[in-house]
Amino acid sequence: MRYFFSIVIVLLSVCAAHAQKRSVYAKTYELTQSSAGSPLQAGNSITDVVVSNDTIWLGTGKGLSRSADGGRSWTNYFGTDAFGSEDISAVAFRGKDVWVATAHTVDKDGQSLPEGSGLRYSSNGGDTWKVLAQPIDVNNVDTLFWNSKSTIRALGITTAVNNITYDIAIAGDAVYICSFAGMARVSTDTGKTWQRVILPPDNLTSIGPNDSLNFDLSPSGGALGLQNNLNHRAFSVYAENDSTIWIGSAAGLNKTTNRGKSWLHFSKQTQTNPISGNFVVAIGRQKTLTKNIIWAATINATDNTEKRGVSFTDDGGISWKQTLLGEFAHNFGFKNDIVYVPTDNGIFRSGDLGQSWIQTGTIYDKANRQRYSQNKFFGAAANADTVWLGGGDGLVKTIDNISTPFGSNWTILHASRPLPSVTETYSYPNPFAPDDEVVRLHYATGKSSSAHVTIRVFDFGMNLIRTVIQNAPRDPGREHDESWDGKDDKGNQIANGVYFYQIVVENDEPRWGKILAIQ
């Protein structure tokens, strides 16, 4: 999963006209124009991390990245025919089958709104891709048949605006997607057609094949007069196996054990030992020697008794335990008995099923002399003893075993382009937002042995405002990054504008670069 856009519960704006069941194949693309064999991932904003054996898939601010050798080299898909410059909102893979959701923003009526731009599917591990349109409907209201005793009216989602796929799960020949305003959908023909997943309405705790049902499948009522059900605002999905599927919504968790023929609905208000909050933004499973545990990132929706936190169950959802209350969790990673939870306040690690937690402090890469600049993380996954973590300031990995405890040794991987020559420099991101991120100053010493480096930042009037490093020793034969947090030497945040930085290596002629700060 996931965070291409902030989580906002919005009422759906319905307009007319495309297909409920339609062929959505557009084109098939081979892997071309990518940076295959790059030493780094494409982008530094990591929204999704998915790992299996030595294969790592990343959703980044510069599109999709894949490593097939445990992170030693990367294939980056940004700018390819299949992906273009689209943002990545969800990634899932099983064996050689890979599904990726994309999105972008559009300007409508003076507002910048999120819009789903479809799905990409590969059956050969990412060598070729099929591009599919975002599933949308023809009619404003459709009639669905649950069984011979039930008729369900369903809201037609006739626009891709606010219809973004935030999560994907693969279960046998079925692919499930959760698209928030677009609700939950399933395809059993590799995306040629999509059907709505009929989940219980807010007021029911279950639906079954023999029930007489009369409700509206609708995340928003609006002018059409349909019943509004938050449980149909689907956001997360997890396939425990080919038959057991979990779907998280803005009104709790839903579980089927028979491929959607019946559903159980769990919420904060309907259980003695419930989840902490009804808005379920992520679901994961931890398989230990003795337990099968479902974890959910559960935040507050509409009830003021709900709380942000993490909820987990080892009895299939009959009862839940709550932990990390107050934390905004975004996803999960697992290594045997250990769970890793990326949150707004760093990574939390527990080896005793949530009874106690270790929280990451300062993340510092000793080899590269880099410090991770942000607390917020969105993705976590483990491959053997290596733990991969992704957030807004690049990809991080650490070892977690008896000889090397978690967090004792960090590696930070920042995407950057090679310098044209050792005498040049650049900064990234540029422009940068000093209230939200750091800017990195990229350079090489050009020396054959260790050299002392001084970096200073000046305002547009060439007044010195910050000394970033002074006479700091730096190794030869490699490129370096130094970070500036957008503050002056007194700790004050800078104003918007143009700034210049100066890099002095030993007694060489100074090198200059320009930075644009925009908040």
Long-range contacts, stretch 445-448, CB < 8 angstroms, 24+ apart: 445/474, 445/475, 445/476, 445/480, 445/505, 446/422, 446/505, 446/508, 447/476, 447/505, 447/506, 448/476, 448/477
Q: Is the pLDDT of residue 19 over 50?
A: no
Q: Give the model's confidence band at 30: pLDDT under 50 very low, under 70 low, under 90 confident, else very high.
A: low
Q: For 16-73, what is the HEC assignment?
A: CCCCCCCCCEEEEEECCCCEEEECCCCCCCEEEEEEECCEEEEEECCEEEEECCCCCC
Mean pLDDT, rounded, for 374-386: 94
Long-range contacts, stretch 117-121, CB < 8 angstroms, 24+ apart: 117/86, 117/160, 118/24, 118/26, 119/165, 119/168, 119/177, 119/191, 120/64, 120/82, 120/83, 121/97, 121/190, 121/191
Question: How confident is the model at residue 85, as a pLDDT?
Answer: 93
Three-class SS state of 135: coil
Instruction: Of 127-131, 173-177, 391-395, 455-459, give the lowest mean pLDDT range.
Output: 391-395
Residue type, 119: L
Question: How confident is the model at residue 12, as a pLDDT?
Answer: 32
Q: Which two tokens stand for residue 322?
A: 């709550």
Question: How confident is the model at residue 28, as a pLDDT?
Answer: 65
Cis peptide before 476 (omega within 30 of 0): no
Interatomic CA distance for residues 235 and 38, integer angstroms: 33
Q: Give the model's confidence band at 31: pLDDT under 50 very low, under 70 low, under 90 confident, else very high.
A: low
Q: Is the pLDDT of residue 8 over 60?
A: no
Question: How confident is the model at residue 27, as a pLDDT?
Answer: 60
Q: Is the pLDDT of residue 265 over 70?
A: yes
Per-residue pLDDT of 200-252, as tens digits, reads 999 999 999 999 999 999 998 777 889 999 999 999 999 999 999 999 999 99
Q: Which residue has the higher pLDDT, 22 or 91?
A: 91
366, 374 contact by CB (below 8 A):
no
DSSP 494: P
* Overall residue count recorded for the chain in this entry: 519
The CA–CA distances, whole Å, from 496 to 23, 432, 466, 519 equal: 48, 10, 15, 7
Among candidates 176, 264, 155, 265, which has minimal Cα distance to 219? 155
The mean of the pLDDT values for the chain is 90
Cβ-Cβ contacts under 8 Å for 490 (sequence gap 6 or more): none
Q: Is the pLDDT of residue 379 over 90?
A: yes
The pTM of this model reads 0.86
Pairing of strands 174-180, 370-371: unpaired
Domain range 428-517, its CATH number among 3.30.479.30, 3.30.460.20, 2.60.40.4070, 3.50.50.100: 2.60.40.4070
Q: Give the model's confidence band at 391: pLDDT under 50 very low, under 70 low, under 90 confident, else very high.
A: very high
The H or E element that residue 316 is part of is: none
Per-residue pLDDT of 87-125, as tens digits, reads 999 999 999 999 999 999 998 888 889 999 999 999 999
Mean pLDDT, rounded, for 116-137: 96
Q: Give the model's confidence band at 454: pLDDT under 50 very low, under 70 low, under 90 confident, else very high.
A: very high
Interatomic CA distance for residues 2 and 46, integer angstroms: 9
Q: Give the model's confidence band at 7: pLDDT under 50 very low, under 70 low, under 90 confident, else very high.
A: very low
Interatomic CA distance for residues 55 and 166, integer angstroms: 22
